[in-house]
Every structure is written in C-alpha cells, then in structure tokens.
Structure 1
C-alpha cells in the first residue's frame, strides 16, 4: 500500500531522491574548481571504478553528495599529484574501509608557478612514497591519451617503458606533463630539445657519482644514491630558474 507524501516511506524516498543530482548538475558543481572537466570524464571515472552513482529505472545516473565529494578528491589528486587512477582508487577505497594509509605521492606535491620546490623536495627525499609500476593500458587511462599518442611520445624518447613493458612513476609524470604541454600547443617534436638537455644533465650527475657507485664499501655505494637524488633535485631547480630568467618571469 502506497503512503501519501505527507509521511511514511514514500516521503523519505522522495526526500532522498530530491537530494540526488544529475550528471549535468554534478558537472556544473565541479567546474567551479575543475573548468576542464567534462561529462565524458565523469563517465570514464565511473568505468574505472572511481565512483558508483545510483541508476534510475530508466538508466540515468544519480549522484549523491558523497559521490561529488569523491569525484572532487579524484580530480584533485590527478591534477595536483599526477597519480594513476588505480592508485587513487586503491587509496580512497582503503580510506572508506577505515584503514590508516599514507597519501600516495607522484610528481609534484603541489602546484606552484615554478614547480621547483615541491618537485625538488620529492627528488631529494629518498623516503618519499612512490607508486607501483603500471601497465600500458593503465598509463593510457591515467593520462587519458590514445595508443597512437603514446607511440609518438615513445618514438621521441619522451616516455620509455621498462624492460618488462611496464612503466614507473616518472613515466607517468612525464606523460602527464607532455599531455598538459600539448594542450598549450607544444607538440612532442618540440620537446626533443628538453629531452636532450635532460640526458646531458643526467650524464653529468652520473659522471659525478659513478666513482661512489663503484666503491667497495656498501655505505659509500648507498651514499651515491642519496647524492644522485640531491644533485637531481638541484638540477631541476636550476633548470626551472634558468627558464624563468630567460623568459623574464619572476617567482612569487
């Protein structure tokens, strides 16, 4: 027997339904912080298991406040930390289960104009948390690119898979940055000069620490890795400072 709207179960259901949002409404809410988000992006995140909106009998998606909050966290972690979706999903799922987990970290810790303080800090901190290797499909999904784009980036040596075909954290960071530069009209072929400069800087660092790595003392060899991290962080900061100086850009 149906209850009238003045009370009972149907009243509670109607109230609950009125608090649910359509995907279009959710899009408008998210665009205040994430202007580039699209309906396709929200659907993609659902297909990857990041959110599970309710469905009406007709099949329309309905989002609650918790869904929108989780979407915001996902987009924020992608934007600010360049994390693969699999890592984000596992982290958020662990939080919902009440587990105590450290926030995962990849690439820059936070956005800033120069991008050097956060990245430099990560490079110089051997204890900084990292993410596991991911396969090719996961990389494509994390960066939201197609197979042909990835092949092009690999042909220029911008993204390099490991011997077993997987990718490490740095490959995800590089791919995300290449994609972001692409949205500003900078094509992969334009980045060859950056890749060449990075290879030369890496060669210089390797030349400095090579004697330490070959040392018989295990502690000395371990010190070589710490020195590599330190020099890499300094090289990143110097490179960013030189680019800003050449462009006449002041760091706030």
Structure 2
C-alpha cells in the first residue's frame, strides 16, 4: 500500500467517525445541566420555553439527554444547541416538528445546515413577496404565495375555511391552509365539505384553551407566553391524534 493510499484510508476513516457523531459537532457533550438550567439558558432567547416543552421535544426524539442512575435528565451544551436549532426553526419558519426532525437527521448524517429562509416568491407583477416574520399577509400576497386566484380565495372565505381580519389581512398560517385546500380540490374533494374540518379544529382549540386557562394565569406577559407555548404543544398532540385516528378509520374502510 502506498503512502497516498494509506492517507486516503485514514482520511475516509476519520470522515466516517465524524459522521457517527450527532450534530452539532465540536460542541461539548459533557452532560452536566439539569432541565431547569436548560430552560433558564434558552429563556433569554425564547421566553415561552418551559420544562414541559423541553420534555415534549424529547418525546419527539429531537433531543436525547443522558439519564442518571436515578432517572434524572442531564443535558450537554450540544443538547442545548440542538434545542436552540429546533426553537429557531419553529419561530422563524413555522416548520412543523417532523420537518425539523428531518433537517436534524440530515445534519447528523454530515450535511451542512440549510440557510434559514422565509417564504419568498416573485409575484406576477415582478415584485418579491417575503413573508419573513409577518403575522399576517394581504390577500394579494396570499394568492402569490399559494398560486390561488382572488376568486378562489374569496370562495374559500365565503365558505369559512379562511378568515381575514377587518383590514383584509390573513394570518400567515393561512398560506399552508390555502395550499392544502387547493391540493384537496385538485384531488376531487368538494371543499364545501371541509367546513367540518375547520369546525373540528375550532372545537379542539376550545378544549386546549379551556385546559390551558385552568392551568396557567395570563395576568403577566411571561404567563401569557408560557400559556401560548403550552397551547402549541397541545395543538401538536391533537394534530397527531387526528392523523392517527384518520389512519385507523381509513384502514377500517379498506377492510370492508
């Protein structure tokens, strides 16, 4: 074996070893932080973070703290960096946890992190539409971002599937809602029947709100943020439950 071959094998072995180390690499993995200390660290950037939120992200397999012999969680600086990545992606891109999980698995496999981008599109008039962190968008931007025309958007509004505010602005979340409505309509679904889906979502939201209100005060700004974080966590669980129940129902139909 030549010196060049030996060097190449050594480099390949080193790269393979690096790929086996979960992201982020080069960050201490000494597990010395309690869950309370992790929350205190992240709260400076994410005021709504809670112990239950961190535990929920663990349940979703987005972070894997070390367990002591007594069963207590211990986190490393690498775990904190991983949690920060998840929270930033949720805040800045509205990405669902399953998508963030895919991104983390790509990072674990050695791929470079993709730059954080907000939704951007060139509209028909040539202007660039950038959602950024805007909580709401006008109808024209919503159409450009989804491919819907104003007539279709007005039809969805009349059916109560999306609702603008008094100024005619739609919540940014409606971008995904309208996109899904268009896909379902393209598959032959009569969107008028989907009002039942919105009604079910609103009933779930009421249940979540009643639960959170009974558990958390909202008198102070920090209380309101914690309540909002808890609502988001429960919303994820409700969405997962609905998806699994739908799968069971479809399975039962297909067995007939």
TM-score w.r.t. the length of structure 2 is 0.46
Answer 1 or 2: which has greater strand percent: 2
TM-score w.r.t. the length of structure 1 is 0.47
